[in-house]
Amino acid sequence: MGFFESNKEYSARCVGISNEGMGVVRISAPNEKEDGLKVFVEDMLPGEKASIKITKRDTKMTFGEKASSETPESDDRTKPVCPEFGKCGGCQIQHATYACQLRMKESMVRSCLVRLGHFPENEIKACMEPILGAKDQYYYRNQMQFPVEYSREKRCVRIGLFERNTHHIVEHEKCYLADPAAEIVRSTAQTFFSDLSRMDQAKALRQVVIRTGMLSKEMMIILVIRKQVTIDADAFAAAVSDELKKAKNGTRLVSIWTEERPSSVKWKNPKGTWTNIWGETTIREFLENRVFRISPDSFFQVNSKQAVTLYNKVKEYLRFDGVLPRMLLDLYCGTGSIGIFCSDACHHMYGIESVESAVIDARSNARANYIEDTEFFCSKAEDFDFGAMMPDAIVIDPPRKGCDEKLLEKILELAPMRIVYVSCNPATLARDLSRFFQMQTEKGVQYGIKKICPVDMFPQTTHVETVVLLSKNLAPKPRVEFEF
């Protein structure tokens, strides 16, 4: 560890929060940067000072633990509502006031664009709008994935959430981020599959996934299984429906699926064998005056109410200069939610999505909302042949890993007047924008960042959504000299 000793305490000040919710603290020391050695420490908020011990240091990162506080707790610190906070991995910043959470997320977006994207800080500040906070900071998630653990000794299952940085399930009364109806399903499933007569089903169960239309009150359950097994869907549906009726919140079960995913398949691999074992094949959700059908493997924003806030910001950016795009291209479109929501901000829209069931949903959603002049194609966005398409605007909403570099090149070739990038990961957003601006000099096209707006889709966590408007800079027309 060089200058630092593992058994010695050092005075440190917290200057920020990491993407994982750890305090970023600085220790002033010889041979370190002017602002001090950066150390990641649990349970510290910006402005707090503490004595810390170094626990691990390598060439890239240094970690420590808080030994004792040196200053009173920050005014931004609050008591977490969940008794399992700090142990469960679902939330990272529940110990901070919501106003503090919003400031930290704004800072995170700005820092990534400056530090990772290498954009001038004054330019980023000039075009960055205040973060759009959420009205509901709890019970907002419309999708929950509960891992299942089978106990051979007790011959029962435990269904809950993973302990932080482990695959051990935390026993909890309820998750304060989940729709309360999802917790009813979790508890009912735990009792149902712990019955000794259903031991084979319990052993095969890997996850219980619950998707809820927060406004439609329709619910879908997906039972992720290791192997093909017969599940008494009627009995399970009856048990869940009875408990939902007792809660009197209006939620009703309309669909149950199984996804067969063998143990050899990684947890994060989304592909499996899907079977509809009870009820309808989809559920509905409403966003303002639009209705959307959602299949079990289709992407949909996990916070329905904030999705409206996010999509309205996208629509605002599409109308930025007061001229509606003639043709809008919606990439990574999922069930078509952004394009359909913004359909009144363009004349014609094409959507590109690689998940076939999502494309089927998108086409159905367009029909259900009586939207014409809309087409959806099943393809990876980076492999799609855009042919003679000449879009005026492009919306990109990629997964956390960001855009494929090949797609960025294709977008530059299409050269739309406006690009709206919707990102759930500030780090990959900064990387993609940096790549995009490096490529544009080769393509002879010039874009500038006009607006940046963070949107808090995930209160109590470090995750943040960001909407960025890129606008093409038009070269001035050459001056023509006339001779008389």
CA distance 311 to 286: 13
Q: What average pLDDT values come out for the chain (484 residues) when binned by 10 residues?
A: 68 86 80 70 91 85 89 92 90 94 95 95 96 97 95 85 86 91 96 94 95 97 95 97 96 97 58 91 96 93 97 96 91 95 94 94 95 95 93 96 95 95 97 95 87 98 97 59 43
Task: Give CA 331 to chain center in angstroms.
Answer: 17
- Which residue ranges does the chain devote to CATH 3.40.50.150? 107-134+303-472
- Which residue ranges does the chain devote to CATH 2.40.50.1070? 143-287
Pick the CATH number of 9-69 from 2.60.120.680, 2.40.50.140, 3.40.718.10, 3.30.160.20: 2.40.50.140
Which top CATH class is 143-287?
mainly beta
Catalytic residues: 424
CB contact at 8 A, 242 and 274: no
CA distance 28 to 266: 43
Q: Are β-strands 348-353 and 374-378 bridged in parallel, bridged antiparallel, or unpaired?
A: parallel
Written as one letter, the residue type at 159 is I
Written as one letter, the residue type at 463 is H
**For residues 330-368, b (16+ Cβ closer than 10 Å) or e, as one string?**
bbbbbbbbbbbbbbebbebbbbbbbbebbbbbbbbbbee
CA distance 340 to 371: 8
**Residue 61 confidence (pLDDT):** 87
- Which residue ranges does the chain devote to CATH 2.40.50.140? 9-69
Superfamily of domain 107-134+303-472: Vaccinia Virus protein VP39 (3.40.50.150)
**Residue 156 confidence (pLDDT):** 85
CB contact at 8 A, 36 and 26: yes
Written as one letter, the residue type at 129 is E
How many residues comprise the chain?
A: 484
Is the pTM for the entire model greater than 0.75?
yes
Backbone φ and ψ for 199, nearest 5 degrees, come out as -60, -40
SS3 per residue for the chain: CCCCCCCCEEEEEEEEECCCCCEEEEECCCCCCCCCEEEEECCCCCCCEEEEEEEEECCCCEEEEEEEECCCCCCCECCCCCCCECCECCCCCCCECHHHHHHHHHHHHHHHHHHCCCCCHHHHHHHECCCECCCCCCCCECEEEEEEEEECCCCEEEECEEECCCCCEECCCCCCCECHHHHHHHHHHHHHHCCHHHHHHHHHEEEEEEEECCCCCEEEEEEEECCCCCCCHHHHHHHHHHHHHHHCCCCEEEEEEEEECCCCCCCCCCCCEEEEEEECCCEEEEECCEEEEECCCCCCCCCHHHHHHHHHHHHHHHCCCCCCCCEEEEECCCCCHHHHHCHHHCCEEEEEECCHHHHHHHHHHHHHCCCCCEEEEECCHHHCCCCCCCCCEEEECCCCCCCCHHHHHHHHHHCCCEEEEEECCHHHHHHHHHHHHHHHHHHCCCEEEEEEEEECCCCCCCCCEEEEEEEECCCCCCCCCCCC
CB contact at 8 A, 437 and 414: no
The token pair that represents 482 in the structure block: 């006339």
